[in-house]
Amino acid sequence: MSNKLSKTERIVRTIIAISFGGLGFTGGLLFVLSDFYRITFQEKSFWLGIVILSGLTGLALVIGFMMGPFLIRQTQRLIRWWETKLVKVPTADLMGAVFGLIIGLIIALLMGPSLSGIPIIGRYLPLVISILLGYLGLSLGVKKREEVFNLNRFRSVTIKEKKKEARQEDGAAASGTAPAESGPVQPESNFSGIPKILDTSVIIDGRVSDIYQTGFLSGTIVVPRFVLTELQHIADSSDALKRNRGRRGLDILNSMRKEIQSDIQVVDTDFPETAEVDAKLVLLAQQINGDILTNDYNLNKVAELQGVRVLNINDLVNALKPVFLPGEEMIVHVIKEGKEQRQGIGYLDDGTMIVVDMGRKYINQTIYAVVTSVLQTSAGRMIFVKPKYTDKRVFVEGEM
């Protein structure tokens, strides 16, 4: 790092030196005006006082000028440290903390005049109350941020729909019919076909939007409010990877609302007695007789055990992959070693892993192989093969 100071730092250094000089002059002036000085230096009090003031002021200026770079560097380091800490704090937490702190300090300011009149401790109470209420407001602001700020990026009812509802209520009032009371959401009456409930994993994955637009999925797409809340928490995470995944999910939902606006609904149905999002999804599916769309293998099994149909995107993708039966021939480009001794690894164009027995010696080469077995799971598929020949005929022409 260069020791040269920038123009701004030089100005700050000058200000620091002047500040130190002011402190030195003030200290010297207090000393010169003290009784000790007048009694000790009666005869030479004036000129000696000038010398002392000048000396202390000059000494303080020099000290301030010499310490300036050190103070500047330490201040910059402290600012960078705080900046690093604050960057990791989710924006929602930061906004809630600032809002709560401001409210707490305003309340303390209003209480100050009435407390200052208390004998003895009155002059200290406003400061104590400001610290306590400021901290209390900051703490509550962080904990209640979602209630203070409506941070959900989606609304189940748009402004246009609100106006429509208002017109309907006005019409009902004019005709003497009482409007329906608002209560727990009963979304099942508004669904077309069998509703498809999205979980967090399938939203972040993003492929569900493309699949729906192809027409292979029918029925209303349902996005529970508690899933949106989970996405919001992921998007506000201090972990960069989680934060990017959460924001990707929110962007995908935004895109889906624009493209298939009439077939996607955000429902507020919740189950406060249940903490787990997966359990809430199963309960919602049972309540509205819907299917769950997911990529989560564990949720897949849990939902099936409770009689809820699950549509796993990975199962659909695997079903669309080309089928290879034992004994069929294929061409494999071996790219790396396998976990087991002498194994080689290759991939199909769709990402399917191919494990080549005795294929380690063929790394970076393309060979003829024969399928020995296929392992199929909801998490993906693996194809096990062995070289078709044991001599030079195993190489694809031009790969020797």
pLDDT of the residue at 371 = 92
Task: Let me know: does 384 contact 375? Beta carbons within 8 Å.
Answer: yes
pLDDT of the residue at 385 = 92
Phi-psi label, residue 150: left if phi above 0, alpha if psi -120 to 50, beta otherwise? beta
Closest among 102, 103, 117, 111 to 129, alpha carbons compared? 111
Task: Determine the average pLDDT of the residues in 251-262.
Answer: 77
Structural domains of the chain, ranges and CATH numbers in brackets: 7-88 (no CATH), 91-148 (no CATH), 159-168+186-318 (3.40.50.1010), 322-394 (2.40.50.140)
- Secondary structure (H, E, C), 6-47: CHHHHHHHHHHHHHHHHHHHHHHHHHHCCHHHHHHCCCCHHH
Task: Let me know: does 67 contact 75? Beta carbons within 8 Å.
Answer: no
Give the pLDDT confidence of 284-309 residue by residue, as tens digits: 888 888 888 888 888 888 888 888 88
Give the pLDDT confidence of 309-345 residue by residue, as tens digits: 888 887 787 777 777 888 888 889 999 888 887 889 9
pLDDT of the residue at 99 = 85
3-state secondary structure of 175: coil
Distance CA 298, CA 115 (A): 59
Average pLDDT in the chain? 79
pLDDT of the residue at 396 = 76
Cα 20 to Cα 11, 30, 49: the distances in Å are 14, 15, 19
Give the pLDDT confidence of 108-167 residue by residue, as tens digits: 888 888 887 788 787 888 888 888 988 888 888 877 766 655 544 444 444 445 555 555
Segment holding 84, helix H or strand E: helix 45-88
Chain centroid to CA 363: 41
Structure confidence at residue 397 as a pLDDT band (50, 70, 90): low
Cα 246 to Cα 109, 147, 253: the distances in Å are 40, 20, 11
Contacts of 16 (CB under 8 A, 6+ apart): 64, 65, 67, 68, 71, 72
Burial 277-307 (b: 16+ CB within 10 A, else e): ebbbbbbbbeebebbbbbbbeebbebbeeee
